[in-house]
């Protein structure tokens, strides 16, 4: 593939298992990947450290960290230290939902994609074990793709944007098996909602439970380090 044929993609990389797998898939599909992570005053910093490791592991063309000042009450246990992370399985939309997070993330990714000439944005949302988050559903992604193609100069001039969600219909076991086939070292990823400063997982939050069950169902040893 010569430089004129290279497809560019922005890939949202949080530091977790799903985003690492999404990046691996984008690379495998031949995209020149530009990783994008967000510091949105989340509860712990270890996921951002993990995001850097993942970007380096996959030798992305650029890894950009954008800071978002949410300001005021956040309404989410992931950004408000006064709201506890639940240690039991949550029903409905849980307190770890961050209001409009993926809408904001994708909007910033869209601007970044337009600047670098990318035609795709990859995000690791999942509708099977999505923890009740409304902004991980196919309906949301479809709506945002429509918006993307009426809101940018690039799209109006003919370079349409695709919002790629390769994990949308996968369960966690299939995601893990796919990542292993693509050579991911999952030990460098951090999925826990309240990992400590060294990236060690709590083992009791929804994200830890989904991750652990996924490795068990996939028949693959869990490399997660627990506190």
Domain positions in the chain are 7-218
* Residue range 133-159: mean pLDDT, rounded: 91
Rg (CA), the chain: 17
More confident residue, 223 or 136: 223
What is 7-218's CATH number, 3.30.465.10, 3.40.50.1370, 3.40.50.620, 3.40.1190.10? Answer: 3.40.50.620
The band of 164, judged by pLDDT with boundaries at 50, 70 and 90, is: very high
CA distances to 40, 49, 100 from 70, rounded to whole Å, are: 7, 21, 11
The band of 129, judged by pLDDT with boundaries at 50, 70 and 90, is: low
| pLDDT tens, residue by residue, 30-73 | 999 999 999 877 766 898 999 999 999 999 999 999 998 765 44
| pLDDT tens, residue by residue, 195-227 | 998 899 999 888 898 899 999 999 999 999 998
């Amino acid at each position: 593939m010569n430089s004129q044929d290279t497809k560019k993609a922005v890939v949202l990389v949080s530091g977790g298992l799903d985003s690492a797998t999404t990046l691996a898939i984008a690379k495998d599909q031949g995209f020149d990947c530009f990783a994008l992570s967000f510091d949105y005053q989340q509860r712990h910093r270890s996921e951002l450290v993990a995001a850097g490791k993942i970007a380096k592991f996959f030798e992305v063309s650029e890894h950009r960290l954008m800071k978002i000042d949410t300001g005021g009450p956040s309404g989410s246990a992931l950004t408000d230290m006064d709201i506890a992370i639940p240690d039991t399985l949550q029903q409905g939309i849980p307190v770890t939902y961050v209001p409009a997070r993926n809408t904001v993330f994708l909007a910033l990714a869209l601007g970044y994609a337009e600047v670098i000439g990318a035609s795709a944005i990859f995000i690791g949302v999942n509708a099977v074990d999505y923890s009740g988050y409304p902004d991980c559903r196919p309906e949301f992604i479809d709506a945002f793709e429509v918006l993307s193609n009426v809101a940018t100069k690039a799209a109006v001039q003919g370079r349409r944007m695709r919002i790629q969600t390769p994990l949308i219909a996968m369960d966690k076991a299939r995601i893990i098996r796919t990542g292993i086939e693509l050579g991911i070292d999952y030990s460098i990823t951090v999925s826990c909602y309240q990992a400590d400063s060294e990236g060690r997982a709590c083992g009791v939050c929804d994200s830890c439970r989904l991750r652990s069950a996924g490795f068990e169902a996939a028949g693959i040893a869990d490399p997660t380090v627990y506190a």
